Amino acid sequence: MKIAIMGAMPEEVAPILEKLGEYTTTEYAGNKYYEATYKGVELVIAYSKIGKVFSTLTATTMIEHFGAQKLLFSGVAGAISPSLKVGDLIVATKLSQHDLDITAFGHPFGYVPEGAVFVEADTQMIAMSKKVADEMGKSVQEGIIATGDQFVANEERKNWIGKEFGADALEMEGASVAVVCDALDVPFFILRAISDAADMDASFSFDEFLETSAVESAEFVMKMVDKVIAA
């Protein structure tokens, strides 16, 4: 089995590489891919760079070029749901692109013909995440994640995304990774630790909490990898 672990920014994959200690580095398609053997299983790890296009490229590369059969994403997000505070973890049940808009033709936001507004994450790994949370003594919320090529630091935009998509958190890569994995039939799991509340203080909060939240997420994702390997 080969498992992909992906983030968007260096800070999101650094704790994972640190835990692995030894890995090889391959440059491909303008990015670096790290490979390691972990508990008898092959891992490929990368940060994509920010946004839907780079994350699409990286997820596709991990699957099509490196042969990953499952994909886990670890990163940070802005909270929409008031119950999510900085450092809290959210597991995506389904994801949508909040900035995809051909509503002029009568379609709903997030929809293009032959696509779907939402892509659902792998239910088996979601179920595993409940066990991991119990074992770690952590409370992890499940919810909808909305993705767009936009750092949201605006209460009005955030509330609109919350209402339109029923979203609990927002970020810039999840839904594009979901589309890739869905199309290529690769089960995926998207975890985010909250770094900010997507409001006017978001950029300050993000800068302050990026590292600690990224570590929270990475630790959980590595426990998820352990569970996937043991299953």
Contact positions toward ligand SAH, by CB under 6 A? 8-9, 50, 75-78, 151-152, 170-173, 195-196, 198, 202, 206
Tell me how far, at minimum, the Cβ of 196 lies from ligand SAH, in Å.
5
The single residue of 12, 88, 168, 182 carrying the catalytic annotation is: 12
Smallest gap from Cβ 140 to ligand SAH, in A, equals: 18
Is the Cβ–Cβ distance between 147 and 30 less than 8 Å? no
Coil, strand or helix at 40: coil
**SS3 breakdown of the chain: % helix, strand, coil, rounded to 5?**
40, 30, 30
For ligand SAH, give the closer residue by CB, 4 or 152: 152
Least CB distance to ligand SAH at residue 93 (A):
18
Residue 152 or 186 with smaller CB distance to ligand SAH: 152
Place of tokens 């997820």: 59
Q: Which is nearer to ligand SAH, 135 or 207 (CB)?
A: 207
18 is catalytic: no
Cα separation, 86 vs 96, whole angstroms = 22
Take residue 211 and report the two structure tokens written for it. Answer: 């590292």
Catalytic: which of 11, 88, 196, 219?
196
Least distance from C-beta 75 to ligand SAH, angstroms? 6
Is the Cβ of residue 211 or residue 226 nearer to ligand SAH in the bound state?
211
- The least distance separating ligand SAH from the CB of residue 49, rounded to whole angstroms, comes to 9
Annotated catalytic residue 196: yes
Cβ distance 186 to 104 under 8 Å? no
Query: Strand pairing of 70-79 and 31-38?
Result: unpaired
Q: What is the DSSP string of 76-130?
A: EEEE-STT--TT-EEEEEEEEETT---GGGTPPTT--TTS-S-EEPPHHHHHHHH
Q: Tokens 């839907």, residue?
A: 52
Contacts of 85 (CB under 8 A, 6+ apart): 79, 194
Partnered with residue 191 across adjacent β-strands are 74, 91
Identity of the residue, 38 or 88, whose beta carbon is nearer to ligand SAH in the bound complex: 88
Residue nearest to ligand SAH (CB): 78
Catalogue the active-site residues: 12, 196
